[in-house]
Amino acid sequence: MPTTHFETVLYGFLMLQILLIKLCGGTNWEVALSASAMNPR
């Protein structure tokens, strides 16, 4: 379980990324993961 507000936001962002990846068919999941790793907002 996330303990800090930052971890909660990051966890939610990662879940959103996974949802978008599944909606897109999982074709660019590596690009999405690398982009999210480069821009942790």
> Residue 38 — very low, low, confident or very high, per pLDDT cuts 50/70/90?
low
Q: Which domain holds residue 19?
A: 5-34
In a domain, 41, yes or no: no
Burial 22-38, CB ≥16 within 10 A → b, else e:
eeeeeeeeeebeeebee
In a domain, 17, yes or no: yes
In a domain, 28, yes or no: yes
In a domain, 40, yes or no: no
pLDDT of residue 10 exceeding 70, the answer is yes
Cα 6 to chain centroid distance, Å, stands at 14
| Whether the model pTM is above 0.85 | no
In a domain, 29, yes or no: yes
Q: What total number of domains does the chain contain? A: 1
